[in-house]
Structure 1
Amino acid sequence: MDRGMILRTLVAMAGLAGMLGGCGVYREATTPRIDTSVGWRPIATDADRERLRKWRDAWEEALPLAKAANPAVIAGDPTLFDPDRALGDAMPPAGSYRCRTYKLGGAGTAVSPLTIGDWQPCTLTQVGEVLHFRVSGGVQRAEGNIFPETRARVIFIGTLEIGDESAPLRYGIDNARDLLGYGEQIEARRWRFVMPYPRFESKLDVVEMVPTGI
């Protein structure tokens, strides 16, 4: 066996050992143990709270870039892309929905200032005083809890599940996966969730949500 083959074999064995030894760690990290009864503020990390405070800055940075890249899309949906659009019932009812993610601003030179994801199935399940939100399709899938804040705004706190992962990491384990944003009702049966300064691909994510069948 040549030296290169030996090295590749050792690397593969080390990787396998790491995966086997890490199974318990993965289960621990994906076990939901967040006490939602305390509200979202004690749960959110300082870094995420700072991003949420800068939600207006994120809109002001990302929206002009997206508009320059694809003016027809932005102009074609002024309701979705109006930063100040908010009706009175921000907390959506539990049920089955469709979600679509718009990534605005393009973080990184190789990323478009506006990318639009496909519609994916998503669900809202009542769990005590909060709603549990889960996107069940796509490469990047958000999962977490929606907390009441005001009549016009709710807060989403969760994590990102990627690729073929079967469960998301618990919030606070990996700040690259952590998500904190706000939600608003923008039409009678239409909501959006806004994530300022996410870690991947954009300056602002806007997740459009409508009931299944619309």
Structure 2
Amino acid sequence: MRHALLTLVAGFALAGCARDGLSLVETAPETRWRAVATEPDRERLRDWRKAWVAALPAARAADNGAIARGGALFEPDRALASAMPPAGDYRCRTFKLGAYRPDLQAFAERPPVRCRVGRDGEMPVFAVLEGEQRPSGTLYAETDARVIFLGTLELGDERKALPYSLDRKRDMAGYIERFAIGRWRLVLPSPNFDSQLDVIELVPAG
């Protein structure tokens, strides 16, 4: 499935110019994500603020300087219009806030990796293309200021992503917001690995 997804996101159709210099996803996104999401993922999305409230103070205590440098990236209510990221290549940095277990770090930053927004038929899709943990999945419009992400996590040297809802430990649910000009974030509340909250920053690769 991963090879098929990478082929799709690499071969997306381009249409119209976005103000951030990339091309818009050609087809309007689907909005009925609730019919697709599992109950645990619907709960994660309902409780997104609880995840921020738990994770952010712990991360700030672990590395206040990094949180301060992130600025708007780590502001829970920072959401601008036009949340759907234009199709194209991005650089993604993953930040892990709060600890899933007491023996884990309360703040961690992963090196930037390649990621991409493309299309699977009529649906926008997102995929992280490098690194040990590679989320990939479908994007669903909720409002102009928020896009829902439902996907799965591919690990290590795996070469095939599991279908969504097949393995609850690999399922991922979150939302994308535009928090500054030319910058988006994918927020993953209460993930199943490492942290209480993951924040993935998307910056156009150009």
> Which residue of structure 2 lines up, in the alignment, with residue 21 of structure 1?
none
Residue number in structure 1 paired with 2:118: 125
From 30, 33, 46, the counterpart of 2:39: 46
Which structure has more strand as a fraction of its residues? 2
Deviation (angstroms), 1:40: 1.3
Aligned sequence identity (%) = 49
Q: Give 5+ residue unaligned stretches, structure 1.
A: 1-26
Q: Which runs of 4+ in 1 moved over 6 A?
A: none
SS in 2 for 1:79: helix
Rounded Cα–Cα distance in structure 1 between residues aligned with 2:152 and 2:4? 13
1:147 has 2:140 as partner: yes
Letter in 1 for 2:151: G
C-alpha distance in 2 between matches for 1:139 and 1:73: 22
Q: Which of residues 140, 157, 168 in structure 2 aligns to 1:175?
A: 168
Q: Match of 2:143, SS?
A: coil
Q: Does 1:202 align with 2:195?
A: yes
The 2-side partners of 1:58 and 1:38 are apart by 24
| Pairing of 1:54-133 with structure 2 (within 5 A) | 54-133=47-126
**Mapped partners of 1:37, 1:113: distance in 2:** 35
**How far 1:128 moved relative to its partner?**
4.5
Look up the SS of the partner of 1:126 in the other structure: strand
Post-superposition offset of 1:146: 0.9
Tell me the matched-pair count: 182
- Does the 8 Å contact 1:181/1:195 carry over to 2? yes
| Pair member with larger Rg | 1
**Mapped partners of 1:37, 1:207: distance in 2:** 22
Sort the Cα spacing of 1:119 and 1:31 in 2 relative to 1 into closer, same or farther, 3 A: closer
> What is the TM-score of this pair, normalised by structure 1?
0.81
